[in-house]
Structure 1
């Protein structure tokens, strides 16, 4: 568990400061698969980390607003975007999504693995995410379905929702949304020693119907 004396921003800045790069630098495969056929427009990337998803979207022609709580992560992401030649297509914004949320309506709102060991109102944030989807736009949520196989210090108060629970928590209004995908799936993830293990994740994809 984390030390409650640290704020969420301090916690995540500390995590990113532990290494020069925390994540792989590659976009999340589910995002690539589910967004590849969409007409590029305005995208919102929640919890963008070091920016791989936002950079991939920008490379596909999207105008991206990318949000994270960690200034260190955002600075790394901006440098990566500049190196990839897409800096002009991404607006990097620092938000503690528990307290503030980006303005605007978006054709794609993506929340990839928006989990935190620091207390975070995930359900509220995802409802705000749904509100930010423009008519005809898509909400894409990818999350863990449980702890990794090597994680033995399970936190009894931490719950990983099922796809059905995610949809219920979103409170999508009948007649205004179409659920396109609601599934659990397996993913291969290497453990800290580099050995491949199987992990369960889940995907929710919903489209706001045109007005």
Structure 2
């Protein structure tokens, strides 16, 4: 299977449909760390998955547009938002980043662990950055190449992992005039699918667009 096939609606619909839950349901740790000092507004959650980040943001007063290639995943986002009483603050929109425009302008645009092929990253990152409103924040978090377990290569080629500095470089002049607040490798404790603990590094980019 190619890396592009792993980014299709068919792939993710099948993966979500095969199990009751794929992800933990908890918000990503870096999102919690980096959004704490931001006033709630309009947020775009890119690659929303099953909605852990989107619902967490909604509970904190954000109006969230959750986009994902998988309609099955988005159905889970909507169902969770309804169950937790924040459905009025979460809108789900199916979007294929490889073929469709990123919708709207938002005070916060957040994208976590969408491991993209290296050849496509600059174009897609720039499209995502273009959805940040003046004065808004872009938060991109991915797996840093440092310390990735050997088995990661079974699912993702090496070029799908980038450092924060590489992400800044790939965004290039799309960040002209922006303030790069954070561009760093950040460590965290994680748990492997078999339950064993592992220490991983995230590549964290937080940037603010000028007014």
Same fold (TM over 0.5): yes
2-structure distance, mates of 1:161, 1:4: 17
- Residue 101 of structure 1, CA deviation: 2.5
- The corresponding residue for 1:96 is 96
1-structure distance, mates of 2:205, 2:78: 28
1-structure distance, mates of 2:34, 2:15: 29
Q: Secondary structure at the match of 2:184?
A: strand
2-structure distance, mates of 1:166, 1:4: 20
Task: Describe the superposition over 1:91-150 as per-residue Cα deviations: whole angstroms up to 9, x where unpaired.
Answer: 100011111134321100001111258x98333221111111111100000000137425
- The corresponding residue for 1:138 is 137
1:24-39 alignment runs, 5 A limit: 24-39=24-39
2-structure distance, mates of 1:114, 1:5: 14
Determine which structure has the larger helix proportion and give its number.
2
- The corresponding residue for 2:172 is 171
Tell me if the contact between 1:43 and 1:63 (Cα under 8 Å) persists in the aligned partners: yes
RMSD of aligned Cα (Å): 2.3
Equivalenced residue count is 209
Task: Describe the superposition over 1:147-180 as per-residue Cα deviations: whole angstroms up to 9, x where unpaired.
Answer: 7425164555633111111011112457620000
1-structure distance, mates of 2:120, 2:181: 25
Name which of structure 1's ranges 51-60 and 121-130 shifts more when overlaid on structure 2: 121-130
Tell me if the contact between 2:116 and 2:160 (Cα under 8 Å) persists in the aligned partners: no
1:78-97 alignment runs, 5 A limit: 78-97=78-97
Runs of 5+ consecutive residues of structure 2 not aligned to the other structure: none
**For residues 85 and 169 of structure 1, do their structure 2 counterparts lie closer, same or farther at Cα, with a shift above 3 Å needed?**
same
Tell me if the contact between 1:108 and 1:138 (Cα under 8 Å) persists in the aligned partners: yes
Tell me if the contact between 1:9 and 1:70 (Cα under 8 Å) persists in the aligned partners: yes
TM-score by length of 2: 0.90
Tell me if the contact between 2:78 and 2:91 (Cα under 8 Å) persists in the aligned partners: no
TM-score by length of 1: 0.90
